Structure 1
Amino acid sequence: MAGRTSVRIDPISRDIALMLDEEMSPDAQQSFLAAAAQEALTEAQETNRQALGYVPEHETFIDGAKREVLTGLTPKSSVLFEFKLLTDIIEWVDEQLIIHSPVKRGAYARSHVWFADDVEFDPMKPPPAEQYMVLNEAPYARKIERGQSNQAPDGVYQGVATLAKRRFGNVAYVGFGYRSFPGGAVGKWAQSANAAALAKRVRGGNPRTHQDWLTRQPAIILDPGR
């Protein structure tokens, strides 16, 4: 896409190219091609069901144009079925993070932030990107990840990343790690006197190197291109 880095999220797709009997009428050719396309779609849906445990939604494109039904096919037509795997993965991870979040005041559950190539986005509307990441901007997110919450004794992000990898690991890379986020609530906290004192006590050294450590947050990384 112009103006931003994009990558094709490889869906399961089929180009339908068939040699038809020249004596077939146009209507017969249309019916034959539609049946062949539907058979390919059914096969792709079954492949997805076996791999994912469910059948994701899909969009149909005929000769590059989005269609709702398999009509207007000719012997030269190409048909593409594009499955919405990426949207499903992101929505699932976002939902699981909320489900596993401590809910004392709900601030942590409201602090999950999604990025597509380092640009924040709405998880319900993921844009094309090379890599997706979600992290929590709450200053105490690292404490929760270390199990210092009675409501999340095993942390949140690493557990959800493990669940996502089991469910989607065959269609996308899913990883857990820590990423610096000098914005949001954690960014403000990192500028405080308390944060500076903590970094000096624990890390020592040059104060200019402290912000990265103070703002490193648990994160889940999704790479649909791997």
Structure 2
Amino acid sequence: MAVRTRIDSIASDINLIVNDLLSPEAQSKAVAEFARGAIAQADETNRSVLGRVPPRIITVDGNPGAPLEAVRPAGGSIIVEWELIGDVMVWIGQMLRGRSPVGPSGEYRDSHTLFADSKEVPIGADVPFADEYVFLNPVPYARRVEIGKTKAGRDFVISVPNRIYERTASDAKSRFGNIANIKFSYRAPEDFSILAYVPIVRTVVRNKQGRFEPGFSKGNRRAAAHERSLRVPAIVITMRAA
């Protein structure tokens, strides 16, 4: 008979097979000792990435906060969950503000906005659980700030380096890439939410001469054009499964 114990963490998904010759009490103790070491190792990994050990909940056989030694010797489980998302969001938000140009009003610096599953997270509110998080800046000149050029080709931002969102996404990926998927992209904000992508499928046909040429477009062209017109630079974050 074997006991399988799982430790879920930043870098750990560990299965432990306990010798069935041990007594039930000894099996539970062996599992607990192994789990304790794995938790300590994961805590140290978290500390090196985040600069601190984030809060965690240890659940033993479905009971949060139970001692590790209480694990059942047969069919028991120890699951550890670390609260990581807040650290990632705080770091990205601080970097965006710190890299922003500051004009007389500070509008761009103060307009970075977080969305959870396409819904805006109000300032001061707890960050909810979501499949996808997005940082973006809804000001109408956000794309020009990112590129650093006006439509006429003149410099738009001269007080700070451009590519603010792209650089921050790259730096965040380097720092948190083992706990989150982070990428630079574009999203379309409107009315405290993010518009869904509207696909347009363009067909290709072959004419009587045998040459290929554009055919009909399939999809809501007006909705697609509206969504594209609102796109601004964005950082997209999804947490990695343990």
Contact 1:144 1:152 in 2 (8 A): no
Contact 2:143 2:233 in 1 (8 A): yes
Residue 65 of structure 1: aligned partner: 63
Contact 2:113 2:135 in 1 (8 A): yes
Residue 36 of structure 2: aligned partner: 38
CA spacing shift, 1:179–1:158, aligned 2, 3 Å: same
How far did 1:54 drift?
4.6
Q: Per the alignment, in what secondary structure is the counterpart of residue 21 of structure 1?
A: coil
Residue 86 of structure 1 aligns with an amino acid whose one-letter code is I
Residue 41 of structure 1 aligns with an amino acid whose one-letter code is I
CA spacing shift, 1:68–1:94, aligned 2, 3 Å: farther
Q: Per the alignment, in what secondary structure is the counterpart of residue 184 of structure 2?
A: strand
Q: What's the TM-score, normalizing by structure 2?
A: 0.64
Matches within 5 A, 1:1-226: 11=10, 12-14=12-14, 18-19=18-19, 21-22=22-23, 32-48=30-46, 52=49, 54=51, 56-57=53-54, 58-67=56-65, 70=68, 72-76=70-74, 77-104=76-103, 105-121=105-121, 125-147=126-148, 148-183=156-191, 211-225=226-240
Identity of aligned residues (%): 31
Contact 1:29 1:75 in 2 (8 A): yes
Contact 1:14 1:81 in 2 (8 A): no
How far did 1:107 drift?
2.0
Residue 212 of structure 2: aligned partner: none
Which has a greater percent of strand? 2
Which deviations, in whole Å up to 9, do the C-alpha atoms of 1:12-52 show, x marking residues without a partner? 45566634732x7x5x77655433321121233345556x3
Contact 1:16 1:78 in 2 (8 A): no
Which deviations, in whole Å up to 9, do the C-alpha atoms of 1:129-176 show, x marking residues without a partner? 222211111122122112222332323111101111111223322111
Gaps of 5+ in 1: 1-8, 185-205
Residue 82 of structure 2 aligns with an amino acid whose one-letter code is F
- Bigger shift: residues 95-104 or 28-37: 28-37
Higher RCO, 1 or 2 (CA under 8 Å, sep at least 6)? 1
Gaps of 5+ in 2: 1-7, 149-155, 193-220
Aligned partners of 2:106 and 2:63: how far apart in 1? 44
Contact 2:137 2:234 in 1 (8 A): yes
Number of residues of Structure 1 aligned to a counterpart in Structure 2: 193
Q: What's the TM-score, normalizing by structure 1?
A: 0.68
**RMSD (Å), alpha carbons:** 3.4
Aligned partners of 2:173 and 2:190: how far apart in 1? 27
CA spacing shift, 1:40–1:100, aligned 2, 3 Å: same
Q: Which has the larger radius of gyration?
A: 2
